[in-house]
Amino acid sequence: DTGVSQNPRHKITKRGQNVTFRCDPISEHNRLYWYRQTLGQGPEFLTYFQNEAQLEKSRLLSDRFSAERPKGSFSTLEIQRTEQGDSAMYLCASSRGQATTDTQYFGPGTRLTVL
């Protein structure tokens, strides 16, 4: 299996612009997660999908953030009207979603810099 892939790897944008990131999970993984990691911190959960259904959203996910997984395969994370505080690494992970085995495998991340 190929691993989780994320595009782009780096994104530099100006404050107020919209950005969209894409995540392609491991094939046949039902669950897909988004996390955010700022410098010197551990990743923080943002949201997750079971197939195409978005089942949980963290309070970190403000109204400017939206995530989709339209066909239960790849997912997109959009940030509208970016702010400097949005600068972070955005990590995507996927897992099989079975009851007894739910290890999450992470992609390389998208590093966002908001100027």
9: number of CA atoms within 13 Å, CB side?
A: 4
Question: What are the distances in angstroms from CA 79 to CA 1, 36, 40, 53, 91?
Answer: 30, 12, 22, 19, 14
Establish if 28 lies at the interface with other proteins (CB under 8 A).
no
For residues 52-81, which are near other proteins according to CB under 8 A?
Answer: 55-56
CB of 14 or CB of 98, closer to other proteins: 98
Total of chain residues touching other proteins, rule CB under 8 A: 30
Give the angle subtended at the CA of 91 by the CAs of 17 and 52, to the nearest 5°.
85
Residue ranges that bind other proteins, judged by CB under 8 A: 31, 33, 35, 40-45, 48, 50, 55-56, 89, 91, 93, 95, 97-100, 102-109, 111
